[in-house]
Structure 1
Amino acid sequence: MNILEAIVLAIIEGITEYLPVSSTGHMIITSSFFGIAQEDFTKLFTIVIQLGTILSVVVLYFKRFFQSIDFYLKLLVAFIPAVILGLLLSDFIDSLLENPITVAVSLVIGGFILLKVDDWFTYGEEDEVKIISYSTALKIGFFQCLAMIPGVSRSGASIVGGMSQKLSRTTAAEFSFFLAVPTMLGATLKKSYDYYKAGFTLTNDQVNLLIIGNVVGFLVALLAIKTFIGYLSKHGFKMFGYYRIIIGFIILAIHFFIQPLTVI
């Protein structure tokens, strides 16, 4: 991986992590086009630069993130399903990450869901995360687990999960942002542990790439979150649904009619 590839991947991570379009799917496809997806460092990089996007949530929602113990307990409850299923299905999830077709199909299916999600659920108008109960937090946590399938979108799954519990779009989105912090931090720690356990060590150049990736991801995510919340509250999910469908079919067309895609 060179600096340009690192910057491009970080920009994509920053833009897509909190949008319902699947950051993992976009990273897999982009790194596949670069021809670096099979590299162990690339797999580490795409996870570790999430630290930068985590920090963007903490900065933007500083006062609301550092609030009551009750708030953190709700995040913990929502986080537990991902921990359990992530550990139980680790090998299966890794195998899915190696299949761009899984990403494409998930993008298309998720796109059609986003086209209709605003019509499916009657949601509230009170935009306060504190109204979320423990049972609602747990249900959102199970929805988030759907994102273990590449292309589903962690933010999209958890936002839809929140709306299914009659939360407003804004409240569901903000809780999804907060839930990303423990979820992505946990994924980063696990991936880093696995990397070193496998006997790999980071070179100075690789450390510099991780620093660049986190800084770029942080700055881009700041803008993406603010833009997304404003757009979502006014227009809903349809644009993201159309985008997912188009991108998914483009990936399928490239794979079957131009050049087979693989990250293996």
Structure 2
Amino acid sequence: MGDIISIILLGIVEGVTEFLPVSSTGHLILATKLLGYDAARWQVFNIVIQLGAILAIVVLYWRTFLAVAMGLARRDPVSLRFVRNILVAFIPAAILGLAIHKQIEALLGNAVVVSIALVVGGIAIILVERLAPKSDIVGVADIPLGKVVGIGCLQCLAMVPGVSRSGATILGALALGVERRTAAEFSFFLAIPTMLGATTLELVKNRHELLSGQGVSLGAIGLGFIVSFIVAVLVVKWFVGVVTRYGFVPFAWYRIIAGTAAFVWLMTI
């Protein structure tokens, strides 16, 4: 029963934080540490349940994806640019992730790195919100190719746990003149190929461990997946509303407070 409650809690943490600029991976690492679990054993679980949150985007934006698919069939320029932008922004993370995946894995159990990255990222959000140029790009398909490449490169910063994939993507877009809501939605859509790639790589690498039952069971991963999906569906619409009205600064202050508290706690244990 204890494990089931922990799995549900971790699924909630993932669903709440995946699309907020607060680092879902960082929160899962801290939550695993707080629960006293072996970070290495739960690493696959923490990565794979992110697909539940990704599925929430597919469900919430199914009309967008359907319109893009129909547009591709007609070779509609807007749909072609939409897909191009997502794929181009995905390439830098795919290349770097394959090149340094061992170094990335070494950081995934380091809760101190997470706490520091949360604080630094919070400060960065405040600075970008104040200094970003006036936003004149509305719509994912309207982002110029050069800016897409820049956003994709900045997403690579999220390989450091605690930085936040969505945060790096959104901040990069804001700094390059993309409107807030479009920056958030571009981050949502870019998460699909990025997290599919990361999860596939993790499953292939750990397939023997999963099948032998040595790590976290497939049943536990399935439950975490379902919980993260349900929670993400509820959170995403709320997040878009908050961002449209208040911007990203509230999340910056949360990062600074949470990161500082986590660092102090980690220094005392």
- Above 0.5 in TM-score? yes
Match 2:184 to one of 165, 170, 173:
173
Aligned positions of 1:28-67 closer than 5 A? 28-40=29-41, 42-66=42-66, 67=68
Aligned positions of 1:105-254 closer than 5 A? 105-124=116-135, 127-196=138-207, 199-201=209-211, 203=213, 206-254=217-265
Counterpart residue number, 2:15 = 14
Contact kept in structure 2, 1:77 and 1:137, CA below 8 Å: yes
Q: Following the alignment from structure 1 to structure 2, what is the Cα–Cα distance between the partners of residues 238 and 131?
A: 25
Q: Structure 1 residues 167-176 or 90-99, which shifts more?
A: 90-99
Contact kept in structure 1, 2:123 and 2:252, CA below 8 Å: yes
The structural deviation recorded for 1:127 is 3.3
- SS of the aligned residue for 2:39 comes to coil
Counterpart residue number, 1:262 = none
Counterpart residue number, 2:93 = 82
Contact kept in structure 2, 1:117 and 1:237, CA below 8 Å: no
TM-score by length of 1: 0.92
Contact kept in structure 1, 2:85 and 2:141, CA below 8 Å: no
Q: Following the alignment from structure 2 to structure 1, what is the Cα–Cα distance between the partners of residues 61 and 178?
A: 19
Contact kept in structure 1, 2:210 and 2:217, CA below 8 Å: no
Contact kept in structure 1, 2:56 and 2:229, CA below 8 Å: yes
The structural deviation recorded for 1:126 is 5.2
**Residues matched between the structures, number:** 256
- SS of the aligned residue for 2:211 comes to coil
The structural deviation recorded for 1:96 is 1.4
Q: Following the alignment from structure 2 to structure 1, what is the Cα–Cα distance between the partners of residues 212 and 142?
A: 44
The structural deviation recorded for 1:39 is 4.4
Cα offsets for 1:165-187 (capped at 9, x unmatched): 21101101100000000000101
The structural deviation recorded for 1:82 is 0.4
Q: Structure 1 residues 118-127 or 209-218, which shifts more?
A: 118-127
Q: Following the alignment from structure 1 to structure 2, what is the Cα–Cα distance between the partners of residues 208 and 54?
A: 19
Contact kept in structure 2, 1:118 and 1:237, CA below 8 Å: yes
Contact kept in structure 1, 2:170 and 2:187, CA below 8 Å: yes
Q: Which runs of 5+ in 2 are unaligned?
A: 69-78
Q: Following the alignment from structure 1 to structure 2, what is the Cα–Cα distance between the partners of residues 243 and 12?
A: 15
Q: Following the alignment from structure 1 to structure 2, what is the Cα–Cα distance between the partners of residues 48 and 6?
A: 13
Q: Structure 1 residues 158-167 or 207-216, which shifts more?
A: 207-216
Contact kept in structure 2, 1:169 and 1:232, CA below 8 Å: yes
Contact kept in structure 2, 1:65 and 1:178, CA below 8 Å: no
Give the ranges of 4+ consecutive aligned residues of structure 1 lying more than 3 Å apart after TM superposition: none
The structural deviation recorded for 1:190 is 0.3
Q: Following the alignment from structure 1 to structure 2, what is the Cα–Cα distance between the partners of residues 208 and 51?
A: 15
Counterpart residue number, 2:72 = none
